[in-house]
Each structure stands twice: as structure tokens, then as C-alpha cells.
Amino acid sequence: MRKLTSAATNGKDRPCKNSRNDLERGKFLLELYQKTLQLSDKELDDYFIDHAVNLTQSKIGFFHLISEDQKTIILTAWNGEALKNCVANYSTHYPIESAGNWVDCVRLSRPVIYNDFAKSPNQKGLPPGHVLVERFMSIPVFEKGKVAIVFGVGNKDEPYTEDDVVQLQLIGNELVKIYKQRQAENTIRESEKKYRSLFENMLDGFAYCRMIFDEKGNPVDFEYLEINNAFERLTGLKRKAVLGKKVTQAIPGVEKANPELFEIYGRVAVTCREEKFEIFLKPLSRWFSVSVYCPQKGYFAAVFEDITERKKMEQKLSSSLEEAQQRKSEISSLLKAARAVLQNKSFPDSARAIFDACKDLIGATAGYVALLSEDKKENEVLFLDSGGLPCTVDPSLPMPIRGLRAEAYKTGKAVYENDFPKSKWQKFSPDGHVTLRNVLFAPLTIEQQVVGVIGLANKSGGFTKRDSEMAMAFGELASVALVNSKMLEILEENEKALKMHSEQLERLVEERTKQLKDAERMAAIGQTAGMVGHDIRNPLQAITSDVYLAKMELTVIPESEAKKNTLESLQEIEKNIDYINKIVADLQDFARPLSPRPEETNLKDVIDETLTKNAVPEDVEVSVKIEKEATKIKADSTFISRIMYNLVTNSVQAMPHGGKLTIRAYKQAHNSGITVRDNGVGIPEEAKSKMFTPMFTTKSKGQGFGLPVIKRMTEALGGTVTFESQEGKGTTFKVQLPIKN
């Protein structure tokens, strides 16, 4: 037991009274812990100080908190008697060095009793109007070696004794424990509130579920225990229809439509190993990307996003790539046939090469090439390919022009029949002819006159419209070869004419090759845009959330150089996030189909918003002039905003050392015009022809999609975009949009 000051030795031991105090203290502590859960902080303070006063048989009392640096008293609570006749004004904080002997216990780090307060030392700090003090006792309550609370009581009828110190010390210790517990609970509540807010506002859907197994341990169902708002938005399922329900109840038929879902979730709930997968949920007709983990065995949490649009884009891209690959094969076959035409002077040799290339591309197994007889009544077969099937027809004999081939001669178009044995054309097939399952005929035409046919037969799965189109193309090439051979016969002494014709064919080859390369390139760009949009935006969302939380946490930190530097770093991170978002947006805007929705758009508002979003540097002077008649235009406001944002961004980047940015909007007879002019570095002459080409850029930083996006969006609105530039003097971009009623 600590020794008290000499003023504390006036009391005498009273065993009975001590026993009564112990009982009262015990009763008080029991009630205190019962009421802790019911009382507010203020009510708990009042309850505590009143019982402390009663327990020590005092009339007045207080307790105050002590700051971490032990220099300031945080005024907290007084009992009603102490305040009843007190007219003193109190602030919330009081410096210890200015306080009198009522905080001697803090200075001395031990209990202090003044049973004759009028003769006590160091009486200061009591303002006018303070209640009269006759006797006084104060104790310090420690936490982690520092004074956390100063407890004081006064004006007891009898002198204060060591027993009073013990009584006050014990309940003071309990107060520290309760305060500490409440602080921890408040911290937990605030943390829970913060993370609940994040949980409810996260963009991805979330579901926490209990897995249900049968007696053999097979996953057969799961119960929804918690979901967030995004779950409702992404699935269309309402909270009341999901929580506490099994998935087989919430989504009828899912167990049959998507059994793999139960297998994956069941495996995660058992092994506690995280998995990530993509699934088409058939009952909802939506694609989802799902990350699932196991917080505890038998349970799982799934975080998912709707990737239906991405999947549609991927399917379109896949179709585009397949189509591009098909076009590549087609062009390759045409090139092969064209080379044969160039290499062979004889038409039969060229025709055979053209036929083989066409047959292999389309997938037919038999066929022939024939020319119209001079009397225009019969087919003269140059060669016949039976595809290894028996054929006793003599191809050297003319074939009558009848049956389906007559339709090709008559119409000048490709014709085909995929069920030849049951068709009306079967009766025209001569005895001994190769067995035909399906047939296709494409004409050879010179000066709009059909002069022969390419016949194809027995393709697995049957012929298609595209097959007929390609057969027509090979027919055209065969027609060229036929003309070419005749020209060679007539102009054998003039090789000049042959060279010109050859160059024409070479240009055709080059054009087709360039078309193929462009198609492959655009397909790759589209695929890249879809994948980049998905793979970059997921981590960007997490980074954005982390930066937001970091900035929120910095708000409670005292001002310092470190805090200032940290905030500046976070702002730089946000700028870079915006830059990455722009790259992703440009990629996706360039790749996705454009379907503008015209609406009345205030051009001034769009330009003002653009300048605000672009954060134009201080060393760039901005001039904006919008004619009154040009303030409002009818166009897709989103497209106009993206066009202006990219134009202003380009101009600002073209003036790294500052300059002048001039924006004008005006109205002409049939168009609305917008010009964005800078006096920056300008565009080199050799780069001007490539400025609207995807992935071409003159900057050290950039992806080369800004101007192509501007061009696509402007043309989608029915307008045009042009530019004028002089290297070293600046650039002017001009957007012309049609006036729509």
C-alpha cells in the first residue's frame, strides 16, 4: 500500500465500516458492468462520479483524463453538487503547469490528501465562483506507466483516510478498463462501418454462403448468408428473395443447367483453396467472372463481375479473327491461282491451277472446267476430276447445256444444290457419271457474256453462299486467264501489253494482301482492347480504393512535412490512374461499335467540363469563344465530350513549355464548326499522312489511339475532322458536324 502525505494520517481504522465499503464497492462494480452496455458515455461518466462520491461519503467529486504527453488535463466530469453553485467557466483542456494542488497527484504520481484544504500548499487554478473546498483527496490512475485519469473527491464530513484511497483507486482502475474496452468497441464499430460502406458500394458482386452436402459428402446445394448491393444489380435477384434461401430456391433449375458451379464451390468449401473461373449462368443468361475463397471450412465467399458484354465482344472478335483467317486463306488461294495465270501462257494449264486452288479452298472433291462451244449449244470439257470415284463418261465428248449448269449459263451467276439426288436436276445426269451428292456451278464471263463454267461437287456438309461467291471470284480469274491467253496469242510480239496486264494483276494481289493485313491488324487491336479493358481495370479499381482509404486515414494525422509529401504522392498516383483510364477508354472506344444517340448538347458546358477535367497547366493561356448560335448542337453528348477531351489533351501536350490554347465554335449554313488551335511544336511533314492511323504517335508517351478515336466518333456523328499544322508554329484541328433538326 502506498504511503499518503502527512495530511492523510488523521483517520482511524474502522473494520465494520471497511467491510460495508467493500460490500458497497462490490455492489457498485457489479451494477457498473451491467449498466456499461446500457449507458451512453455521458451517462456512464455521471453514474461513475456519483457513486465514487457516495462510496467515499464525499459531497463533490470529479475525474479528468490526462493527455498522452502528460501536459494537459482533458476536463471530463463533475458531480451535480460540484456544479450546482459553480459559476466558473470551463474549457475542455487545461494545462497541468497552470493547475493547483488538485493535480498534485499527477505531479507526484501518487495519491494526495489535504484534510485541511485551507492550509494546503499550491492553491491556484481555481477560478472565481468555484465551489468551496474544505477537504480534498485525489488519486492518479495509471495505464502503461502513464497517468491516464485523475480522480478527485472533496468535502467529506470526516477526514479522508487510506481506506478512501483504496476505494477510489479500485473503482478508478475499473473505469480505465471500461474506457479502454469502449474505445476498442468504438474502433471496431468504426472499422465495421467503414468496411460495410466499402462492401455495399463495391462494384463487384459478393455472396457469402454455406455449402450443403449429401450423406456421401457430395455438394448438392448452398445457402445464401450475405450479399451486397452489387449482387442484386448484377444478377437481378432481390435480397429478400435470396438471403436465407438455397440457390436451388433462389435460381430454379440452376443445379441442372450449371452443375459445374456446385462442383467448384463444393471443392473450395472442402479444400479451402481459392479458385477463379468464368461461367455462363444459363438461368440468368449472363456471363460472370468469379473468384471464390473459403473463410472457414464448409463455407465459401464468391466475388464476381458481369462479363457478358466482354464475352460478346470476345465472340465478335473471335468471329472477326476466324473471318480474317478465312479471308487470308481465300486471298492466299487467289494469289496461288493468279501466279499460275502469270506463269502459264496456256489457258488449260491456268484453268487447272485455278480449279485446284478453288476446289481445295471450298472443300469440294470433284469437278471440271468447261468452255462454251462456238455454236453456243454445248459444254466442251477441258478436264474432269472425279475425286477418285468411278466415272465412265468420256470428258472429251461435248456435254449438252442442260440441268443446273444451264442456270449458270443463263443467269451469269453461281448456282448450287445441296441435295442433288432428290432434286429436279438429277434426271439430267448422264449414265456413268460420278455419283453426285451436291453440286455448284460458277460462270466464266467476258464482256458480260458467259463463255464457260467451273463445276464443283461433293463437298462435305454442302455448299454455302460464301462458296458461291468465292467460286465466282475464281471464275473471274479464269476469265482473266482466258482473255490473257487469247491476248498472248494475238499480241505475242508485243510484250509491253503483257507487262501492263501483269502489273494490273500484281496491283490486285497487293491490294488483296493489304486488305488482309489491315483486317488482321484491326482484329488484333479489337481483341487487345477487350482484354486490356478487363485486365487493367480490375487492379485499377483496387488501387483507386486503396488511394481513397489512404487519403481518408491521412485526414486524422496532424499536419507535417511527411503528410504533405504523402498527399502529393497520392495525387500523382491519381493522375496516373486517370492517364491509364484514358488509354483503356481510347482502346475500347476505337474497338467497340459506335451507335451515337443524338440529343441536344450544350457545347459551352462540354468545353468548360473538358477544360476542368484536363487540368490545363498554368503556363498555358486559354481562350474560348462560342458564337451564340453555336452554343447548342444536336449530337451525342458523350461523343462530343470524348472528342473535345482528346483534342485539348493533344494541344496541351504539344506545348510542353506553355503557350496559348484557342477554342472556337461557330455555325455555318449546313454545319457546326469547332476549332482547337495551339502554338506548340507542330506536326512534322512526314507524319501528317499517318496522324489518324491507329497506334501511330509522334509522342514519347502514348498509344496512338487518341486521334483515330476522334476520327471514328466524328464520322459516326456524320461529320469530318481535319487539321493544319506547321512545324514549330502550332496546329489547328477543325471538326465539322452536320446541323440536325
Q: What is the pLDDT of residues 328-356, one digit of tens each?
A: 888 888 888 888 777 887 888 888 888 99
- The residues that bridge with 440 in the sheet, in sequence order, are 416, 456
* pLDDT confidence of residue 593: 67
Can you tell me the distance from the alpha carbon of 350 to that of 338, in angstroms, rounded to the nearest whole number? 9
Q: What are the Cα distances from residue 425, in Å, to 397, 421, 431, 440, 471?
A: 20, 8, 14, 12, 20
Instruction: Report the distance separating Cα 596 and Cα 178, nearest Å.
Output: 63
Strand 720-726, strand 286-293: pairing: unpaired
Top pLDDT among 283 and 41 is at: 283
Residue 5 has pLDDT above 50, yes or no: no
- Angle, helices 495-554/465-490, rounded to nearest 10 degrees: 150
For residues 698 and 595, give the distance between their C-alpha atoms in angstroms, rounded to a whole number: 30
Checking if the pLDDT of 678 tops 90, the result is yes
For 563-572, letters b (16+ CB in 10 Å) and e give eeebeeebee
Burial 654-693 (b: 16+ CB within 10 A, else e): bbeeebebbbbbeeeeeebbbbbbbbbbbbeeeeeeebbe
Please give the Cα distance from 304 to 599 (Å, whole number): 35
Domain ranges of the chain: 6-187, 202-306, 322-328+496-592, 344-490, 594-738
Min mean pLDDT across 144-148, 167-171, 265-269 is at 167-171
Check residue 4 and give its pLDDT. 33
218's grid cell: 457430395
Can you give the C-alpha Rg of the chain in angstroms?
A: 45
d(CA 606, CA 146): 60
Please give the average per-residue pLDDT across 503-530, as a whole number. Answer: 66
Per-residue pLDDT tens digits for 717-736:
889 999 998 988 999 999 99
Instruction: Examine the pLDDT at 80 and tell me if it is beyond 90.
Output: no
Confidence band of 286 (pLDDT split at 50, 70, 90): very high
Distance in angstroms (rounded) separating the CA atoms of residues 354 and 360: 10
Give the sign of the dihedral formed by CA 43, CA 47, CA 53, CA 59.
Answer: positive
Single out the residue of 468, 477, 337 nearest to residue 408, CA to CA: 468
Percentage of the chain surpassing pLDDT 70? 82
Residue 85 has pLDDT above 80, yes or no: no
In degrees and rounded to multiples of 5, residue 221 shows phi and psi of -170, 170
Structure confidence at residue 9 as a pLDDT band (50, 70, 90): very low
* pLDDT recorded at residue 732: 93
Helix (H, G, I), strand (E, B) or coil at 544: helix
Distance CA 245, CA 251 (A): 10
Supply 125's cell numbers: 487554478
Classified by CATH at the fold level, domain 6-187 comes out as: Beta-Lactamase (3.30.450)
pLDDT at 741 over 90: no
CB 320 within 8 A of CB 290: no
- Nearest alpha carbon to residue 580 among 618, 552, 550, 543: 543
Check: CB of residue 306 under 8 Å from CB of residue 290: no
C-alpha cell at 536: 487493367
Grid cell 496461288 in the structure block, residue = 336
Alpha-carbon distances, residue 185 vs 46, 188, 398 (angstroms): 20, 5, 101
In this predicted structure, the answer to whether residue 13 has a pLDDT above a threshold of 50 is no
Alpha helices per DSSP H over 87-213: 104-108, 162-201
- What is the pLDDT confidence band of residue 12, given thresholds at 50, 70 and 90? very low
Q: What per-residue confidence (pLDDT) applies to 568? A: 77
* Cell numbers at 171, concatenated: 473503482
Instruction: Please state which CATH class domain 594-738 belongs to.
Output: alpha beta
- Percent of all residues in the chain with a pLDDT value above 90, rounded to a whole number: 23
For residue 262, pLDDT beyond 90 = yes
Q: Does 594-738 match 6-187 at the fold level?
A: no
Does the domain made of 344-490 have the CATH classification 3.30.450.40? yes
Question: Is CATH 1.20.120.1200 the classification given to domain 202-306?
Answer: no
Q: At 701, is the pLDDT very low, low, confident or very high (cuts 50, 70, 90)?
A: low
